[in-house]
């Protein structure tokens, strides 16, 4: 018993010691997993963290209230109302197309037995001159049941509104070069996807023209897709107008995630009710055969920590005149003490769905599951509090069930972050 509780304390220590990432973007984690500038930034590897020595006090086992371990059954549920994955008799949810983003540099995370028909290879970023690297080659991936998977190159620009204005507006004479680059690199792939998330409403017409130029220049048989932010209602002068873009593209990928983000209040990345509002809006505009609903394979943790006040020395140098007649000066060193008051420091970091088992079980963790919000874990301690929202396999399955009522295609951001058990819940139908 003593070893068991020592392990609990160590897990909590690891859970709280991982440094938060500062993630900010339009579809935040989805694009910040690669860094805001398009360069890959690996997430924290929990196995490489230096665990500090922890002083463990003697525990009176008699005073500890331990919850009884549940014995699952084929028909019963756990205390949160869920049927454990390995005991569910439900069939898999079927889709005609299953898309998934695969980061350049993360090819080894793709095992090959995943039921994924289309790979979105992320990405070719637009540089400051409005050009892309046309030397990118498709990854070598195993076939799916003897059938070749389609690989789409993703052309991305996520945060540069000024750059997008210059690249899309014909007056700057950049657009034609960018279009030519995209057409050239697309020849190596089965399709091309545009993921431009920093397009202002004033550039809406230019963006739509840009998409038409790409579509017209692609070779026959190439699939043209566009990734779009989630919408639940019409936005005036929207550069990401579902109606206009679905009339141009072969597929429209809706990024139905980041309902809550790093600087928002805590909450689910994609609650079921929010996802339902998105798809009910999208299905009235985008033809069902073109619509792909994106599903997040990540969650987010928010932390608040009390930082004690302290005194710090501030050194400044000031010019002092040394003579009356001649303008001579010298630098005078001025030292003063400044008191920094106590403050609440807020941090946020992303959590991969597959890492939930490593984080969810701690002596002070309060776990809760709801069909709408998925899994949440709260930890309260002296001077700090954390709350985590992340879909487990059952919550992800709920999205499969929802979307299967409307469309034949779903996609994931991003491959390699999922629990292996998730693939048991989904399959491809011819």
Mean pLDDT across the stretch 262-270?
97
CA trace torsion 237, 241, 243, 249 (10° rounding): 140
Token pair 């010019």 is found at 319
**pLDDT over threshold 70, residue 144:** yes
Token pair 């001025």 is found at 334
pLDDT in tens, 357-402: 888 767 789 999 999 999 999 999 889 999 999 999 999 999 999 9
Q: How confident is the model at residue 76 (pLDDT cuts 50, 70, 90)?
A: very low
Which range of 32-36, 51-55, 60-64, 232-236 scores highest in mean pLDDT? It is 232-236
Query: CA 105, CA 107: separation in Å to the nearest integer?
Result: 6
Query: Which own/partner contact pairs does 56-65 have at CB distance under 8 Å and 24+ positions apart?
Result: 56/6, 56/9, 59/2, 59/5, 61/1, 61/2, 64/5
Domains of the chain and CATH, by start: 2-65+91-304+349-428 (3.20.20.80), 306-340 (no CATH)
Whether 294 and 254 have beta carbons less than 8 Å apart is answered as yes
Tell me the β-bridge partners of 225: 193, 251
Q: How confident is the model at residue 14 (pLDDT cuts 50, 70, 90)?
A: very low
Give the distance, in angstroms, between the CA of residue 78 and the centroid of all CA atoms in the same chain: 29
Query: CA 199, CA 240: separation in Å to the nearest integer?
Result: 8
Tell me the β-bridge partners of 344: 306
CA distances in angstroms from 53 to 14, 17, 50, listed in the order given = 11, 12, 9
Mean pLDDT score across all residues of the chain: 83
**pLDDT over threshold 90, residue 253:** yes
């Amino acid at each position: 018993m003593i070893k068991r509780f020592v392990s609990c304390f160590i897990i909590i220590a690891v859970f709280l010691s991982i440094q938060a990432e500062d993630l900010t973007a339009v579809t935040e984690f989805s694009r910040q997993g690669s860094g805001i500038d398009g360069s890959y930034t690996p997430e924290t590897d929990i196995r490489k963290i230096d665990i500090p020595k922890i002083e463990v006090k003697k525990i009176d086992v008699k005073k500890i209230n331990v919850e009884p371990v549940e014995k699952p059954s084929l028909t019963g549920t756990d205390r949160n109302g869920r049927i454990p994955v390995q005991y569910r008799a439900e069939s898999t949810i079927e889709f005609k197309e299953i898309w998934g983003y695969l980061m350049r540099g993360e090819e080894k995370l793709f095992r090959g037995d995943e039921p994924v028909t289309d790979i979105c290879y992320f990405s070719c970023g637009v540089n400051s001159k409005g050009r892309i690297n046309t030397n990118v080659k498709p990854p070598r991936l195993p076939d799916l049941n003897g059938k070749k998977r389609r690989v789409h190159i993703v052309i991305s620009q996520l945060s540069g509104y000024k750059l997008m204005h210059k690249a899309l507006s014909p007056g700057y004479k950049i657009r034609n070069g960018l279009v030519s680059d995209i057409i050239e690199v697309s020849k190596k792939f089965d399709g091309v996807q545009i993921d431009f998330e920093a397009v202002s409403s004033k550039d809406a017409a230019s963006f739509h023209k840009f998409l038409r130029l790409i579509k017209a220049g692609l070779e026959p048989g190439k699939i043209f897709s566009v990734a779009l932010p989630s919408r639940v209602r019409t936005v005036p002068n929207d550069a990401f107008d579902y109606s206009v873009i679905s009339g141009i593209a072969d597929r429209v990928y809706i990024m139905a995630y980041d309902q809550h983000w790093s600087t928002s209040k805590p909450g689910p990345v994609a609650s079921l009710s929010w996802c339902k509002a998105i798809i009910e809006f999208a299905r009235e505009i985008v033809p069902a055969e073109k619509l792909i609903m994106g599903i997040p394979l990540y969650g987010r943790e928010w932390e608040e920590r009390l930082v004690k006040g302290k005194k710090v020395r501030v050194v400044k140098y000031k010019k002092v005149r040394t003579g009356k007649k001649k303008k001579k000066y010298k630098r005078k060193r001025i030292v003063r003490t400044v008191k920094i008051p106590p403050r609440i420091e807020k941090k946020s970091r992303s959590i991969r769905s597959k890492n939930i088992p490593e984080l969810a079980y701690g002596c002070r963790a309060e776990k809760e599951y709801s069909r709408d919000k998925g899994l949440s874990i709260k930890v309260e301690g002296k001077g700090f509090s954390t709350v985590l929202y992340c879909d487990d396999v059952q919550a992800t399955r709920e999205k499969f069930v929802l979307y299967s009522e409307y469309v034949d295609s779903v996609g994931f951001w991003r491959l390699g972050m999922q629990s292996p058990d998730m693939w048991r819940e989904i399959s491809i139908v011819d």
